[in-house]
Structure 1
Amino acid sequence: MSTSSAFHSLHPGIQRYLWAEQWEALREVQEMAIPAILPTDRDVVIAASTASGKTEAAFLPALTHLLNGDTDGLIVYISPLKALINDQFGRLDRLCEDLDIPVWPWHGDIGSTTKQRFFRKPTGVLLITPESLEAMLCNRGTSVAGIFKGAAFVIVDELHAFIGSERGKQLQSLMHRMEVVLGRRVPRIGLSATLGDMQAAATFLRSDGRATIVDAPSGNNELQLILKGFEEPPAPQDAKHEEVAPLAVAKHLHEVLCGTNNLIFPNSRREVERYTHLLNEISEQANRPREFWPHHGNLSKEIRSDTEAALKQKERPATAICTNTLELGIDIGAVKSVAQIGTPPSVASLRQRMGRSGRRKGEPAILRGYVIEDAIDSNSDLKTRLRLDTVQSIASALLLIDKWFEPPVAGGAHLSTLVQQLLSAIAQYGGLRAPQAYQLLCASGAPFQGLSSESFVELLRHLGKQDVLTQDSSGLLLHGPIGDTLVNHYSFYAAFVADEEFRIVAAGKTLGTLPITQMLAAGQRILFGGRTWLVEQVDEAQKTIYVLAAKGGSPPIFNGSGGRVHTRIRQTMRALYRGELRPTFLDATASRFLEEGKSAYEHLGLDENVLLDQGSHFLLLTWAGDAANEAIACLLGARDFNAQAGRLGVEVTRGSQTRNQLLEAIAAIASQPAPSSEELLVKAKNLAIQKWDALLPPRLLKHSYASLRLDVDEAFNWLRATGFNVPPTPQP
């Protein structure tokens, strides 16, 4: 390291530590980041692959700054996960103990004694979640300036996990509120392994978007990729049917993974349980010791900890079957390979998962994909005939190879989180006047900039009518009775909430519950218990969906789960159907699935045919992303059509309207200016998708939903570019 100028710019105490730890050289990302961070006069975004040394790239220069100058300085490290805080504490504690710098892990499992010691002398490194930081600002309003007076840096880990989410908007607000109290700018450092749009990441970190970007090369590790297909045979008549393809997948996983450490990602918690059971059952039959461990959010902390411990220890092999709980940077050691069962939630998610493999020098990253398709017969629906899951999985893998990831949805209004931040700020300051609150949260440079003062007043009046807020004789905004109850509940500090479960009721009988995350309206269809149901009524107050059994037609895409699909993925799928792309990573069955899908595409004339008659419904083939498809569905819904977004476009339930009337409606929509969000969502239900949405006035709720879920511009571009040729309606 004698030739490294970055190394020699570090504090001598840190240099000695690195020599003692036998570092041969700084990593490339560290060489790039250290000179960018040390001047402390700018924000910095650091993007590099998993296990590339990003954490040290931020902390080595930040700690150098503390050691060179302000011994009472404070580095605030913000993490999305408690487990990641615990990991970082283990990594930093030995270094910082050598440097005589205290490290303070801070979350719900940390005892009050440790927290009181920090408050007595708030210096060193504070490792904290957004929720704990929210509680600190909310409950210690008069002390906030003293607690953070030494703040030298704010480091945000796993930046991509925050961008575009309620939690991300909360984090932006917390960082802004901290700086308002301090009356100065605190440099921000964002760390991420997966960023599809570096400038969007810089703008998320601070609204001026002027952060220095450190985009380290990802290295030249080889990627070994295979996609395997499995076919589910037709269910025998008059017999209880058990699926055979999942067992075949489990047997292959057991064969290729035994004896090594791996991660397996099915697409739901239910599937995690299914494959854990199957794999352990196979191991027992083979008289092998346990190697397969579950990990998802519904499991207890102890079970998740057992899985993490099994992965970290080196004496015995272990494989975790997990949801996205193991996507982020928890240190679980090196894994040999990653398996993805079913279509990945997103390309960015697939990239994050793949980054867990190939972390040792010279080792390839290994990614195994598994797709299950039903056998084709005379009753097969369009999805099965097109082999949609296979083609989407191939498209995602091709985009991964091309190093494309979904850009973050950074333009959402997130007015649900504004309600929380307003209540929190009122608690912090002991009351605020309306102009002060607007200046703090909505003015230029503030987290909710862009909301007009008129809309803010509309929100305040609505919250007043609901007793969430009240105003004293001097004009000071205070918590009303409902507001007091909300703020004093332990759940207040989280900006997000788990998907709410809706009861599904048919003919007075409860069929079960389903997490609902998208707009619903009467006339739409849902899939539940292996059957298709028609939505008759949505009772939002009672969280109940009343349904009728639906006959005919293809099963709907809507089932209460799954990621949002970007237009680029669907356009890549279309290129595969056209034969423009020829993937080389498919096994024989997956190759057959692709050829069958291409044949169906050609046979049905889907390259030219934009509107398909599917018997029970019409299908608009848009090849657009979910945000555009949902916007088109809303545009049609406002004209009395029952429409919903699907995996190939927009499904329009056949009612009294004819094909020509649908075409006329589309042509009329395309010829007019885009409607307001209030007009667009006039008939929509279940718009309260975020935690505090139920407290918003109707107009602002529609505005917030549209900003987060709909791409009206893309919808109109498709409608206008398609140029439907509408036959004249016969005159009576």
Structure 2
Amino acid sequence: MILPGSNSSDDEDDSRQTQSFELLHESIQRWVWKQGWEALRPIQEQAIPVVLDGSLDVILSAPTASGKTEAAFLPILSHITDRRESSEDPEPGFDVVYLSPLKALINDQYDRLEELCGACDLPVHRWHGDVSSSRKNKALEEPDGILLITPESVEALFLRRPSVFHQALQNTAYLVVDEVHAFIGTPRGKQLQSLLHRIEGAIGGWTPRVALSATIGDHEMTAEFLRPKSGSEVEVIDPVGDRQEIRLLVKGYENKNNGNNEENGEDPSGTVVDIAEHIFTTIRGQDNLVFANRRMDVELYTDLLKRISEDRGVPNEFAAHHGSLSKEIREESERLLKNSKAPATVICTSTLELGIDIGWMDSIGQVGSPPSVSSLRQRLGRSGRGDNPAVLRAYIQEPEISDSTPLEDTLRPELVQTIAMVNLLLEKWYEPPNLDALELSTLIQQLLSLIAEHGGIKTKTAYRLLCQTGPFDKITVPQFKSLLRGLADEELLNQAGDGDLIMGLTGEKLTRHYDFYAAFWSPDEYRLVANEKTIGTLPITSPLVEGKLLIFGGQRWEVESVDQKKQIAFLQSAPGGKVPKFGGEGALVHSRIREEMFTTYTSTEVPSYLDAKGVDLLEEGRVHFERLDLQDANLIRQGDHTVLFVWAGDRVVNTTHILLSEKGYKASKSGMTLQVRDCLPSELFNVLCEIATTQPPEPSKLAATVENKIIDKHDRYLPEELLNSNYASKRLDIEGALDEITTIVDES
């Protein structure tokens, strides 16, 4: 990996490592020289010949800041420059369409690529909701170079300016998907797959796709996501040696208030203050990210750390970053991290988890158990400069145990779940997505978008584009016809006499609203205005009235007035404040994590990364695990009720819950447990035996017993039978539940 002009003690190694560099166009080689690089990174060496060839789809997998962007664009720009030089009259159009999950990531990549693309005289265009209309119009009038865009903006172009957008795609040579793992297994991911397919349809044929990711657990599954039904033909480049050392500390805390104060917006508990104090004394003076799983926790800790700074008479280095804050506040927090002259720590949600270039962090904090192993890996990848290790400090609260403590909580489950996730991280295991999900809500969106794009479309053509050759390949012809009938009943579409699908009145209204472009929910929100500037939004599920106190964006506010009709709240500075509730649900826990938790309970090994309190809490959890005989028993009596321990993922737990409900038993879920009311263990055992030995129910029929099956944005338009099938594909795992129940019965 030695570039010309560098010293090498191994001629053979020098020859091998410069082969990729020599393949690059001369203008790109000059750009590399100007950077002062001594060598190409491993991911770049391996990617250049494959991407440059342009005959394969490629996945580039490597840690954050390992040079993935250059690994993709050095060969892409070389290919485009060579193509232009060999053509006497290059056709107009975007040479590359780059799709990103975040507007902030587009802004970051724009700054990064502008200089590189300037080396070969190629323009770079940003396209998202914060870019002015004049810039967008100019880019469409003179399409050229690199288009950086979100899936939602691609959707808008197909809807609003289809013919112009089709023309702008005629010269596209590559499709690039950044942070591909962020899409997989989500409604947005299914939308992305559909949009890629539609883009290729507009281009007129197969176009190489290049995906970038720092967190890929299953290469084959990711390849199948990138190119459905042809994943085996995707080239995966994942340099095994390009990894970093990890240093971990997991601190345990016993919360004597059980977290009730923060939930009620009152003064935080002593435990929370202790965590804030440790964050302040340990990492102040450096650049850090502290991840919290909830936006309300971001606000809570940002406020606490600011107050500690004021009490100590030192400058405040702490800022907030989450999706409800305005773009200006988020960008200011990012600027603080990029400023090398002053240290900064940003408390954030997953908004800073992806690859926005904020420089290397000295350390990463995690408040609460991470949402997933994949997320933990992504967050950890933000830390570590050069040969320095990545540093993670996790802060885990467990409630004080009393006579009224739920059995599950006596096991210290959040701490043990964190240990399980760390263990799986070290094994390089990450959650596979649920590829069985039908994603019918997104199919509705894509069908209506397709109708709007073409002004109407034949039923057979729509099915072929979306299902037969597209990403919704699990949808049968009868299901598609049922969907069309249901959408017609809702006046979302109509079927003309010649078989064309055309937009219905409700469909016209739906597709004309900007909210339609996104495949995910956009809840009704208040717009928060302070000093004549919008500082963010709050869900209307957190009612705002005059005089209410808020903590938002690291500041304390009082609601001065509220325009309920326009949903605008006007704020003024205040000495006091309470953390508002933002809503949202957590990620589903995978069965592999619960299995690792069980292994942790039955083991005697104490992880070296636990602090003294963490060790005490783990030993307490193991003592209660042994006291309840959970190694051999799953049914534990608690008064007149029975607690059923299910050492499997949330889909299995949910399915077991529904199977019991179908038998007439009332149960409540909490983590890996089901508390079955007014039922003794012997009775519950007999019910489980009956379930285990009975013919498995049809998933859709079992889903029919569930009262609320609305999960995604357009589910409310689905006819009942499709709503049942859709819910079953996303929330049920009958095979997994029956396997678990059979194991419980056999071992009891």
The TM tier, using the shorter chain, reads: 0.7 to 0.9
- The answer as to 2:732 corresponding to 1:710 is yes
Summarize the Cα distance change of 1:581–1:183 in structure 2 as closer, same or farther, 3 Å threshold.
Answer: farther
User: Offset at 1:145?
Assistant: 3.1
Give distance in 1, aligned partners of 2:705 and 2:638: 25
Name the residue aligned to 1:5: 19
Name the residue aligned to 2:210: 189
User: Offset at 1:248?
Assistant: 0.6
Match of 1:662 among 672, 677, 684: 684
CA deviation string 1:646-690 (max 9, x = no partner): 312333233xx5544433332222223322233212231221111
Give distance in 1, aligned partners of 2:433 and 2:497: 44
Gaps of 5+ in 2: 5-14, 85-89, 261-265, 526-539, 544-582
Match of 1:610 among 614, 634, 652: 634
Gaps of 5+ in 1: 502-511, 516-558, 727-732
- The answer as to 2:442 corresponding to 1:417 is yes
5-14 vs 174-183, greater mean Cα deviation: 174-183
TM-score (norm 2): 0.86
- The answer as to 2:432 corresponding to 1:407 is yes
Match of 2:377 among 351, 355, 378: 351
Summarize the Cα distance change of 1:86–1:631 in structure 2 as closer, same or farther, 3 Å threshold.
Answer: same
568-577 vs 211-220, greater mean Cα deviation: 211-220
User: Offset at 1:478?
Assistant: 0.7
Q: Name the SS for the 1:191 alignment partner.
A: strand
Match of 2:133 among 82, 89, 112: 112
- The answer as to 2:44 corresponding to 1:26 is no
Give distance in 1, aligned partners of 2:730 and 2:127: 31
User: Offset at 1:328?
Assistant: 0.5
Name the residue aligned to 2:183: 162
Give distance in 1, aligned partners of 2:608 and 2:119: 52
Q: Name the SS for the 2:98 alignment partner.
A: strand
Backbone CA RMSD of aligned residues: 2.1
Summarize the Cα distance change of 1:688–1:317 in structure 2 as closer, same or farther, 3 Å threshold.
Answer: same
CA deviation string 1:65-104 (max 9, x = no partner): 1001145461110000001001001011112122111111
Name the residue aligned to 2:495: 471
Q: Name the SS for the 1:122 alignment partner.
A: coil
What amino acid sits opposite 2:717 in the alignment?
L
What amino acid sits opposite 2:410 in the alignment?
R
Q: Name the SS for the 2:250 alignment partner.
A: strand
User: Offset at 1:498?
Assistant: 4.1
Partners of 1:78 and 1:157 within 8 A in 2: yes
Give distance in 1, aligned partners of 2:727 and 2:95: 38
Give distance in 1, aligned partners of 2:318 and 2:254: 24
- The answer as to 2:298 corresponding to 1:275 is no
CA deviation string 1:494-529 (max 9, x = no partner): 11114689xxxxxxxxxx9489xxxxxxxxxxxxxx
Identity of aligned residues (%): 44
Name the residue aligned to 1:427: 452
Name the residue aligned to 1:546: none
What amino acid sits opposite 1:413 in the alignment?
L
Q: Name the SS for the 1:259 alignment partner.
A: coil
Name the residue aligned to 1:381: 406
Q: Name the SS for the 1:151 alignment partner.
A: coil
User: Offset at 1:441?
Assistant: 0.7
- The answer as to 2:291 corresponding to 1:265 is yes
Give distance in 1, aligned partners of 2:42 and 2:200: 32
Partners of 2:140 and 2:164 within 8 A in 1: no
Q: Name the SS for the 1:216 alignment partner.
A: coil
Partners of 2:636 and 2:681 within 8 A in 1: no
Give distance in 2, aligned partners of 1:281 and 1:32: 50
Give distance in 2, aligned partners of 1:76 and 1:407: 27
Give distance in 2, aligned partners of 1:92 and 1:299: 27
Summarize the Cα distance change of 1:62–1:725 in structure 2 as closer, same or farther, 3 Å threshold.
Answer: closer
Name the residue aligned to 2:221: 200
Name the residue aligned to 1:620: 644
Match of 2:706 among 684, 689, 693: 684
Give distance in 2, aligned partners of 1:718 and 1:315: 56
Q: Name the SS for the 2:280 alignment partner.
A: helix
Instruction: Note the 1:433-472 alignment, pairs <5 A.
Output: 433-443=458-468, 445-472=469-496
User: Offset at 1:725?
Assistant: 8.4
What amino acid sits opposite 1:55 in the alignment?
T
What amino acid sits opposite 1:611 in the alignment?
L
User: Offset at 1:437?
Assistant: 1.0
Name the residue aligned to 2:602: 578
CA deviation string 1:403-441 (max 9, x = no partner): 211112222110000000000000111101211111111
User: Offset at 1:467?
Assistant: 0.8
What amino acid sits opposite 2:23 in the alignment?
S
Name the residue aligned to 1:50: 64
Q: Name the SS for the 1:38 alignment partner.
A: helix
Name the residue aligned to 1:215: 238
Partners of 1:514 and 1:560 within 8 A in 2: no
Match of 2:79 among 65, 87, 96: 65
Summarize the Cα distance change of 1:234–1:378 in structure 2 as closer, same or farther, 3 Å threshold.
Answer: farther
Summarize the Cα distance change of 1:581–1:710 in structure 2 as closer, same or farther, 3 Å threshold.
Answer: farther
161-170 vs 404-413, greater mean Cα deviation: 404-413
User: Offset at 1:109?
Assistant: 1.5
Summarize the Cα distance change of 1:500–1:407 in structure 2 as closer, same or farther, 3 Å threshold.
Answer: farther
Partners of 1:131 and 1:494 within 8 A in 2: yes
Instruction: Note the 1:174-323 alignment, pairs <5 A.
Output: 174-207=195-228, 208-209=230-231, 210-217=233-240, 219-233=242-256, 243-323=269-349
- The answer as to 2:109 corresponding to 1:88 is yes
Q: Name the SS for the 2:119 alignment partner.
A: helix
- The answer as to 2:170 corresponding to 1:141 is no
Give distance in 1, aligned partners of 2:473 and 2:204: 19
Match of 1:694 among 695, 716, 727: 716
Give distance in 1, aligned partners of 2:593 and 2:524: 28
- The answer as to 2:519 corresponding to 1:495 is yes
- The answer as to 2:500 corresponding to 1:486 is no
TM-score (norm 1): 0.88
User: Offset at 1:141?
Assistant: 2.6
Instruction: Note the 1:508-547 alignment, pairs <5 A.
Output: 513=541
Summarize the Cα distance change of 1:344–1:500 in structure 2 as closer, same or farther, 3 Å threshold.
Answer: farther
Partners of 2:170 and 2:202 within 8 A in 1: no
User: Offset at 1:618?
Assistant: 2.2
Summarize the Cα distance change of 1:663–1:250 in structure 2 as closer, same or farther, 3 Å threshold.
Answer: same
Name the residue aligned to 1:532: none
Give distance in 2, aligned partners of 1:241 and 1:22: 53
Give distance in 2, aligned partners of 1:463 and 1:435: 16
Give distance in 1, aligned partners of 2:506 and 2:268: 50
Give distance in 2, aligned partners of 1:236 and 1:310: 31
Partners of 2:688 and 2:745 within 8 A in 1: no
Q: Name the SS for the 2:148 alignment partner.
A: strand
CA deviation string 1:445-503 (max 9, x = no partner): 311012111111111011111111112232211111100000111111111114689xx
Match of 1:35 among 49, 55, 59: 49
Partners of 2:659 and 2:702 within 8 A in 1: yes
Q: Name the SS for the 2:53 alignment partner.
A: coil
89-98 vs 48-57, greater mean Cα deviation: 89-98
User: Offset at 1:15?
Assistant: 0.3
Summarize the Cα distance change of 1:242–1:146 in structure 2 as closer, same or farther, 3 Å threshold.
Answer: closer
Summarize the Cα distance change of 1:414–1:228 in structure 2 as closer, same or farther, 3 Å threshold.
Answer: same
Name the residue aligned to 1:333: 359
Summarize the Cα distance change of 1:383–1:725 in structure 2 as closer, same or farther, 3 Å threshold.
Answer: closer
CA deviation string 1:341-364 (max 9, x = no partner): 111101111111110000x11211
